[in-house]
Chain A
Amino acid sequence: MLPRPTTHSKALGPGVAGPELAVATSAVLDRPPQPTAQRPLSGAQAFSVDPSLVESADGPRQHTQYPYVTGTSVLAVKYAGGVMLACDTLGAYGSTKRYKSLERIIRVNARTAVAAGGEISDFQYITRLLEELATDDYRTDDGIELGPREVFSYLTRVMYNRRGKMDPLWNSLVVGGVEADGTVFLGTVGMIGTHYTDSHVATGFGAHLARPMFRERQSDDMSEADAEALLRDALRVCYYRDKQSINKFQVAKATGEGVAIGKPFALETKWDYKAFAAPTKWAIGAW
């Protein structure tokens, strides 16, 4: 008869001996973890319902206070004859890399693509709204289709109206496409309805990490290859510095020929830069 283990690590589970983890995880807490804005419910209660959503002191229904499953930055640039959008395929549950193959770029119609960061379920709702619009156009069958500018304008109203109800859709959206007359369109809307159009846009972390690169290298008449190289470089920087991202990306193109959403791919990375080991070594004033 084999000797039964007399002690086991709570961190690693019953029957497994080992040291306690330095950082307490949910398995060693004496009560279930409570959700906060920074840390939504984590894996321990993956599919339990937040009781405060069912019943609370001021009534049965609450609006979204923070996102659950989130996507990170979306990057996009204009180039000669079209616009290119890019993002990774992660749906993060708090800090958990929960869904690794979420496609966050959709084709609305032949001329328009939309990509989203933020709460994935809200984006799926927005996807349904846009599908309804595109279906209406299709079955009306009068040859009229919403252009990217119209889709963008519609989305700004949807986002702004929801923030007005204090029940925002927790997303940053990027709309890209080509109008019927050939003009290239690129714009972005935030969760409270702020929006703008520009030659290049980036949401979330990308606004800080990618846009400086875009400002240096992007031009409206750059070639498709140059645009893709720029986006790949920007994605790589975002991946290096954004812990909410993974090395699995998608690039979509919207041109006069239509919308093409590429297959997911990984980038070559290099982690042994000396600056990565001592990131503030030459940064004057840093600590």
Chain B
Amino acid sequence: MATLTAGVPKHAAGAAGIKQHASWSPYDDNGGTTLAVAGADYCIVAASMRMSTGYSIMTRRSSKILQLTDKCVIASAGFQADMKALHKMLQSRNVTYQHSHAKPMSCPATAQLLSNTLYHRRFFPLFTFNICAGLDDEGKGAVYTYDAIGSYERTGYSCQGSGKDLMQPVLDNQLKAASPLLIPARGDTVEIFVITKEGVRREELELKKD
């Protein structure tokens, strides 16, 4: 967080950065964990639905997943207002794309667009940590994982957000062995999107709400 506030334009930080009120930050961390796993011809995306600030829970039911097309969703954790702005932006771009190309954006195309959109804000970053997931042009499961300023790579599985330090080792361990998956999830509700060639199915998993 501290490193991100350093990106604030200088004029706002006060005279030569010396006079500084105990003021405000344009960022907040609203927590949340997202996760995606790619299969041969399917993809599963899950995200917690809690939205918090500090030690306060703002709401237990806020979605972090944007379903862009039948074959592509984007899950974002981090700063909720930036997340919403990003999702709205991508949604608009998708509509524009459909108007000019008469087809929905493919998952790899969306992945590239997301990277460009994030990098466009390199010097006033969107404080969001994204996963773009779905089926690629050949119908194979695809997971793309990002940092806040748009670096991305395609992986087989990924997780992002406040629970990633707990979850990534479990994914590394479980997904490289053929054993049933048990993911450490705490919070309110997990929403799960299963993307197959038939379309997108949404499920919910209730957690302990503690």
Q: Which residues of A contact B (CB under 8 A)?
A: 36-38, 52, 56-59, 63, 65-66, 156, 160, 163-164, 166, 168, 190-198, 207-208
Contact = CB atoms under 8 A, between A and B. Distances in A.
Given A58-B11, A166-B12, A194-B81, A37 B21 contact: yes
A191 B12 contact: no
11 contacts: A36-B21, A36-B22, A57-B15, A66-B21, A192-B25, A194-B58, A194-B80, A195-B80, A196-B62, A196-B80, A207-B58
A195 B8 contact: no
Instruction: Name the 8 nearest CB pairs between A and B, nearest first.
Output: A193-B81, A57-B15, A166-B12, A196-B59, A198-B59, A37-B22, A37-B21, A194-B81
Contact of B27 (A36, A59, A192): A192
B61 A195 contact: no
Nearest to A207: B56
B22 A38 contact: yes
A52 B14 CA distance: 10
Nearest to A196: B59
Contacts of B30: 194
B23 interface: yes
Given A163-B81, A195-B84, 15 more contacts: A37-B21, A56-B15, A156-B81, A168-B26, A192-B24, A192-B27, A192-B28, A192-B81, A193-B84, A194-B53, A196-B51, A196-B58, A196-B62, A207-B56, A207-B58
Contacts of A208: 56
Contacts of B23: 37, 65-66
A197 B10 CA distance: 34
Which residue of A38, A57, A59 has the most chain B CB atoms within 10 A of its CB atom? A57
A182 to B, nearest CB: 21
Nearest to B12: A166
Interface of B: 8-12, 14-16, 19, 21-28, 30, 51, 53, 56, 58-62, 79-81, 84-85, 124
A156 B83 CA distance: 13
Given A56-B15, A57-B15, A195 B81 contact: yes
A65 B9 contact: no
Nearest to A168: B24
A191 B62 contact: no
Contacts of B61: 198
Nearest to B83: A194
B27 to A, nearest CB: 7
B27 A65 contact: no
A219 to B, nearest CB: 15
Contacts of B84: 156, 160, 193, 195
A160 B79 CA distance: 12
A82 B73 CA distance: 34
Contacts of B24: 65-66, 168, 191-192
A207 B55 CA distance: 11
Contacts of A38: 22
B108 to A, nearest CB: 29
Contacts of A59: 11
A58 B81 contact: no
Which of A38, A194, A198 counts the most B-chain CB atoms under 10 A from its CB?
A194
B59 A197 contact: yes
Contact of A194 (B12, B14, B79): B79
B85 A160 contact: yes
Contacts of A65: 14, 21, 23-24
A153 to B, nearest CB: 10
Given A36-B21, A195-B80, A166 B9 contact: yes
Contacts of B22: 36-38
B78 to A, nearest CB: 11
A269 to B, nearest CB: 26
Given A36-B21, A194-B79, A198-B59, A63 B12 contact: yes
Contacts of B27: 192
A195 B87 CA distance: 14
A163 B80 contact: no
A164 B25 CA distance: 11
A201 B36 CA distance: 31
A41 to B, nearest CB: 13
